[in-house]
Amino acid sequence: MKNWWKKTTDEILHDPVLWVASVCLIVMHLVTAYFWHSPNFMKAFPDTNGHAMCHGFFPSCAQTIKFSSDLARGILYSYAFVASSALILILIPRFRRFALGLLLLVTAVKLGLFLSRFNLMGNYHLIQFFLVGALFFLPKKRVSYFLVLAMFYFLAGTLKLNNEWLSGAALLVPSIILQGKWLAWALAYVVILELILVWGLLSKSLPLRIVTLLQLFLFHLFSWHIVGYFYPVMMFLALAPYAMSLWKKYDREILKEISPVTASVLVAFLIFNSYPFFWGRDPALEGHFRGLRVNMLDARPVCYPLVYVQDPKNSSTYFVETSQSNAMRTRCDPGSFESQLRRYCENLNADQKLGFILYSRRSTDSEFRIIRNTTDFCQDSYASVF
């Protein structure tokens, strides 16, 4: 372990591009702390009744990891303090190795929070986790970093191959800069940029790499007035090490430097993100492992959840109320209803059954689809329902 740590940190600290990457990844944590320092962050954690939105693989998150508002706030402040310390120490040569250890520590804390609550999910967190992973755990770190970056853009582009994105219906707010056919052309251009042009980052041609980087920069700059500051700032920081690398002359094509380990990781991640398409599912509506896959504002789902209780004793059926998240990405995700349904299960009599039907559609579709349908949620396994 000691030899691995020395070898890893030596490679990072002796490469100016990788050192800049470590600085940017630390700054990402500070930006995250500022972003999370809001009422929305506190709402992600349970109240005294144990209400929480959990990941599908961790349905009992509220009961297993209990946060009070004070504890969540304390964790957030500690997280910001350690990240600030790491940023200061990474600038002092004799403490840089220790600062890299702090970077791993705060990343682990952020990952723990991310996994503990479904409504903390988001691409802006996933990209940081994978870039930290590339920096510390993959060989040929500079190449691995750039490949992970390009792969994220590509996967985001695959999710935009639908009418909802191309029509602009999926946008959080209407663009005040482009409208009509100009907006439609711009949205189509984004798909081309992420699916095809982004691979120019790996080109041997310096002019092509510069042009590709400028296009990505302009894309995120334009998106600011639609998605807010957080995502563009995180991506600017992710791209900054690449911008610095443009000063280095490549002796050969970057693709020839890919290690088998890095290639295997990227292929596995590609398959994990692609399986909903292979199974004929709509990733925006089905929600399978959505919190751990690349997810974008590729859809504006509309849904009607129907929850009912069957009471054999009284030969009756009555409906119960459910609430939906205000977040566009998660409000119709099947997993977002899990914690509510489990609370209903706790209050049912032994002979009562809880039924759940979820009707969903994209906003540009005319017909609803039945996404989930179970007549006995409390007895069905989580995997079979969600």
pLDDT in tens, 183-202: 999 999 999 999 999 999 98
Pair (176, 260) in one structural domain:
yes
Task: Count structural domains, the chain.
Answer: 3
Q: What is the DSSP letter of 303?
A: E
Percentage of the residues of the chain whose pLDDT score is greater than 90: 39
- Reported as a pLDDT band with limits 50, 70 and 90, residue 251 is very low
Pair (150, 100) in one structural domain:
no
Supply φ then ψ for residue 358, to 5 degrees: -120, 115
Count the Cβ atoms, other than its own, within 10 Å of residue 5: 14
* Residue 103 pLDDT greater than 70, yes or no: yes
List pLDDT tens digits, range 145-196. Answer: 999 999 999 998 988 888 888 888 888 888 888 888 999 999 999 999 999 9
In a domain, residue 244? The reply is yes
- Reported as a pLDDT band with limits 50, 70 and 90, residue 347 is confident
Percentage of the residues of the chain whose pLDDT score is greater than 70: 82
* Residue 338 pLDDT greater than 60, yes or no: yes
In a domain, residue 128? The reply is no
In a domain, residue 58? The reply is yes
> What's the whole-number mean pLDDT along residues 343-365?
85
Rounded to whole angstroms, how far apart are CA atoms 200 and 93? 34
Give Cα separations from 177 to 18, 133, 168, 173, 193 (angstroms): 36, 37, 13, 12, 19
* Residue 38 pLDDT greater than 50, yes or no: yes
- And the tokens for 189? 């251009």
Going by DSSP bridges, is the β-strand pair 369-374/316-320 parallel, antiparallel, or unpaired? unpaired
Pair (268, 159) in one structural domain:
yes
Pair (171, 287) in one structural domain:
yes
In the numeric block, the tokens 């940023």 are attached to 87
> What's the whole-number mean pLDDT along residues 96-100?
97
Angle of helix 96-116 relative to helix 69-90, nearest 10 degrees? 150
- Reported as a pLDDT band with limits 50, 70 and 90, residue 90 is very high
In a domain, residue 132? The reply is no
- Reported as a pLDDT band with limits 50, 70 and 90, residue 353 is confident
Pair (290, 307) in one structural domain:
no
Rounded to whole angstroms, how far apart are CA atoms 366 and 351? 38
Rounded to whole angstroms, how far apart are CA atoms 312 and 377? 16
Amino acid 349 reads N
In a domain, residue 263? The reply is yes
Pair (67, 46) in one structural domain:
yes
Average pLDDT, the chain: 84
pLDDT of residue 316: 63
- Of the ranges 93-102, 243-252, 370-379, which one carries the lowest mean pLDDT score? 243-252
Max Cα–Cα distance, the chain, nearest Å: 79
Structural domain span for residue 286: 137-295
Greater confidence (54 vs 381) lies with 54
Rounded to whole angstroms, how far apart are CA atoms 345 and 212? 53
pLDDT of residue 48: 41
- Within 13 Å and on the Cβ side, how many CA atoms surround 182? 6
Domain ends where: 250, 265, 295? Answer: 295
In a domain, residue 129? The reply is no
Q: Residue 103 in contact with residue 72, Cβ under 8 Å?
A: no
Q: Residue 367 in contact with residue 359, Cβ under 8 Å?
A: no
Pair (57, 154) in one structural domain:
no
Q: Residue 325 in contact with residue 194, Cβ under 8 Å?
A: no
Domain ends where: 295, 312, 335? Answer: 295
Q: What angle do CA 16, 236, 122 make, to 5 degrees?
A: 120
In a domain, residue 200? The reply is yes
Pair (288, 358) in one structural domain:
no
SS3 at position 36: helix
Pair (178, 59) in one structural domain:
no
List pLDDT tens digits, range 9-35. Answer: 999 999 999 999 999 999 999 999 999
Q: Kindly state the helix (H) or strand (E) to which residue 377 belongs, with its residue range.
A: none
Domain ends where: 97, 121, 145? Answer: 121
List pLDDT tens digits, range 116-155. Answer: 877 787 788 999 999 999 999 999 999 999 999 999 999 9
* Residue 383 pLDDT greater than 50, yes or no: no
pLDDT of residue 287: 67
Pair (22, 95) in one structural domain:
yes
Supply φ then ψ for residue 348, to 5 degrees: -85, 155
In a domain, residue 371? The reply is yes
Q: Residue 375 in contact with residue 310, Cβ under 8 Å?
A: yes
Count the Cβ atoms, other than its own, within 10 Å of residue 182: 11
Supply φ then ψ for residue 323, to 5 degrees: -110, 155
pLDDT of residue 254: 60
Residue-wise over 309-345: b if at least 16 C-beta within 10 A, else e? bbeeeeeeeeeeebeebeeebbebbbbbbbbbbbebe
Pair (276, 362) in one structural domain:
no
Pair (287, 314) in one structural domain:
no
